[in-house]
Amino acid sequence: MREVDVVGIRFEEPEYAPVLVLHEKEGGRYVPIWIGASEAAAISLQQQGVKPSRPLTHDLVVTLLETFSQPLEQVEIVGVSEGTFIAELVFGTTRVSARPSDAVAVALRTAAPVLVSKEVLDEVGISLVEQGEEEVEAFREFLDQVSPDDFLGGGGPAEEPGSPSS
């Protein structure tokens, strides 16, 4: 497993589909994951430090974890199957399956680390190591123009069937 930073949300043109972008801390690869609009909003609000007047679902999950003294140790993105990313919330020896977008939204609220398996990074990671600003800008343009089908070889939406980009 490799730890990643949550870069943030970018939007795929022309549908304006949200893409969660993760960046490998050591190694420099990026992992784009197409997600739903409400999860994108939850992630963006948390990253910007915006507190909604009423708690969002992810805030409720964090409150439940705190109430029942179950600290979230980490979030792991453990696989990709037919274009669908698979994540797990890790509580000691207990693992709970989750969509990566929901898992990341909870991780940001608990300061839990986010990790991606080496296999996922090898399969879908985009490397920009030792490349200049020109290549970084080309990657940003790529994110603006690529579709989930292009990225995963026609396997469908990157997170779940029925996502906004399908």
Task: Tell me the per-residue pLDDT of 32-52, one tens digit each, with 9 for 90 and over.
Answer: 999 999 999 999 999 999 998
pLDDT given at position 164: 41
More confident residue, 101 or 158: 101
Are 104 and 43 contacting, i.e. CB atoms less than 8 angstroms apart?
yes
**Alpha-carbon Rg of the chain, whole angstroms?**
16
Q: What's the distance, Cα to Cα, between the start and end of the chain in Å? A: 29
**In the structure, what pLDDT confidence band is assigned to residue 140 with cuts at 50, 70 and 90?**
low
pLDDT at 155: 39
d(CA 5, CA 8): 9
Burial (0-12, 13-18, 19+ Cβ within 10 Å), 90: buried
Is residue 162 pLDDT above 90, yes or no? no
Rounded-to-integer distance, Cα 4 and Cα 139, Å: 18
Looking at residue 163, its pLDDT comes to 43
* DSSP-derived pairing of the beta strands 74-81 and 114-116: parallel
Average pLDDT over residues 65-71: 96
Report residue 89's pLDDT band, with 50, 70 and 90 as the boundaries: very high
Residue with the two structure tokens 């579709």: 147
